[in-house]
Amino acid sequence: MLQAILAILIGFILLAWSADRFVNGAAAIARHLGISPLIVGLTIVGFGTSAPELVVSAIAALADNTSLAIGNAIGSNIANIGLVLGITAIISPLLIASSILKREYPLMIASMALVFVILIDGQLGILEGIILFVCLFGILAWTIFTGIRKGRDPTAAGDPLETEFESELALDDIMPKAEAIFWLLAGGVLLIISSRILVWGATTIATSLGISDLIIGLTIVAIGTSLPEIAASVASVLKGENDIAIGNVLGSNIFNSLGVIGLAAIIRPATVSTDVLFRDLPVMIGMAILLYILLYSHKGEPLLSRPSGFLLLSLYIAYLVILGVQAV
């Protein structure tokens, strides 16, 4: 048991650090290739924070622990809204000035709804995984296309989100190309190694305590793999980059729903627990709808206030308590 706990702690630390190195390397290479900061931010940086969830779920599925993979994806979506945005809003209220909510929020809701429709029969197969992946690549293609088209339109109004990415990914801050390639490769390798360590520790604890892989995925693993989102969102809001903070969460949730669950299905088709259908998916979608209500419950620009942050965090803690009681 002690070895398993140490494996989880070491896995989390390596996972968060290697994901950061991997994303920085990828972003630097993209900037060296002349890709605009907006596209880099919305794709590599926004979706890149989901690299831990993707690799952990892939390793779990390969080890025939698809329930852990599904729990990780859904649990991370819930944690991103309740834990990440809750903590971020408590630190500093989030005033969203760009059109990111109109652009990204409907995609997040649509992604979650598609997952619900696919899982409603209790089966997750290869075809469903392919459908999810095709939708993900469709969103990525649309994001890149609209970003390029906007960049070529001299009459297009400036987007505060684009300005923030220009500042965040300034050319002066880009690492040399050779260093970027090294960290892209090294970060990717460490992601796989740390994920294997984490999955082994999590499944060992689950077996020892008689807890299902699903519960472990929804709680310990989901919180751990959400560490990059917490770090990115808190760092962004402290710099006054509120749009990036919420953009990280929305992009991550889209990637988790389509990419993480899709990859797990392709690797290892599985039967989905009824708990996922009647407990976890409704909580995930309910938290997403509540987020929208809280953002637009004020006059003017959408705002996630400090009381709203406390509410989201409290609901997330209550959800964890329910999972704990049911696991006993």
Report residue 301: phi and psi, to 5°. Answer: -65, 150
C-beta of residue 306 within 8 angstroms of C-beta of residue 90: yes
* Per-residue pLDDT at 148: 63
* Per-residue pLDDT at 301: 82
Please name which of 269, 291, 302, 235 lies closest in space to residue 23, comparing C-alpha atoms: 235
The residues, ordered by sequence, that sit 6+ positions from 42 with a Cβ below 8 Å of its Cβ are 143, 147, 165, 247, 251
How far apart (Å, rounded) are the C-alpha atoms in residues 268 and 203? 17
C-beta of residue 52 within 8 angstroms of C-beta of residue 80: no
Tell me the two tokens of residue 27: 């972003």
How far apart (Å, rounded) are the C-alpha atoms in residues 286 and 257? 15
What is the fold, at CATH topology level, of the domain defined by 2-327?
Answer: A middle domain of Talin 1 (1.20.1420)
pLDDT means per 10 residues, the chain with 328 residues, are 84 77 72 64 62 82 87 93 94 80 88 95 93 91 70 49 51 71 82 78 80 86 78 75 78 90 92 92 96 88 92 96 86
* Per-residue pLDDT at 263: 92
Residue position matching structure tokens 């953009």: 247
* Per-residue pLDDT at 102: 81
C-beta of residue 169 within 8 angstroms of C-beta of residue 31: yes
* Per-residue pLDDT at 82: 96
Residue type, 152: R
* Strand, coil or helix: 123: strand
Number of H helices and E strands in the chain, helices first, is 18, 4
Report residue 271: phi and psi, to 5°. Answer: -85, 135
